[in-house]
Amino acid sequence: MPTVFYQDHDVIITDDVYAVWKPDPQVYDLEGLEDLRLEHDSRPARIVLLAAGALATVGAAAALKFAEGTGQYVIIAAVLFVPPLTGRAMRVLTPVVWFLRARYAGAGVTLFTSTNAISAMRVRRGLMRAFAANAASVERLDRAGYAEAYGRLNSLL
């Protein structure tokens, strides 16, 4: 019976396979997966929002020279509140997408995609534990001499 290291409604990771059900059902053998990495997408809209916020802040600071009295307080408030509002808009309007990617049989594959960094890290951690368990079971078989015995038996047949 395989050991389950991570299970979700879309993904199951055991000590032998990584299986994903959505968008297309795929099953990957752990021994064929290599070069596992977690990447995130930086969208151009985030850069546009950051530039707009920076320009608004610089413009408000420049306008401070020309304003007098109460207008200065309004501009100072704009200088103080535009950067946090821009940061919030960047987080809300353009969420970061996390990708768990690897190479399988020589081709690049995307194993998992999520906008939630915590779930992407959990899948990665489950996969790393499965890799460790898979390697330990192979090492245990090699140390016990089973690999040599299996090779001899295979050559006789």
**What does the block give as tokens for 43?**
């969208």
Report pLDDT for 157: 44
Please give the Cα distance from 122 to 127 (Å, whole number).
9
DSSP per residue, 116-130: -HHHHHHHHHHHHHH
The pTM (predicted TM-score) of the whole model is 0.61
The letter for the amino acid at 96 is: V
Q: Are 116 and 135 in contact (CB under 8 A)?
A: no
- pLDDT tens over the chain, length 157 residues: 678 889 988 899 988 889 988 778 889 988 888 888 889 876 666 677 777 777 777 887 777 777 787 778 887 887 777 777 777 777 667 778 899 999 998 899 999 998 888 999 999 999 999 988 887 776 555 554 555 555 555 555 4
The pLDDT value given to residue 58: 80
Instruction: Please report, to the nearest 10 degrees, the dihedral formed by the alpha carbons of residues 25, 30, 36, 42 taken in order.
Output: 10
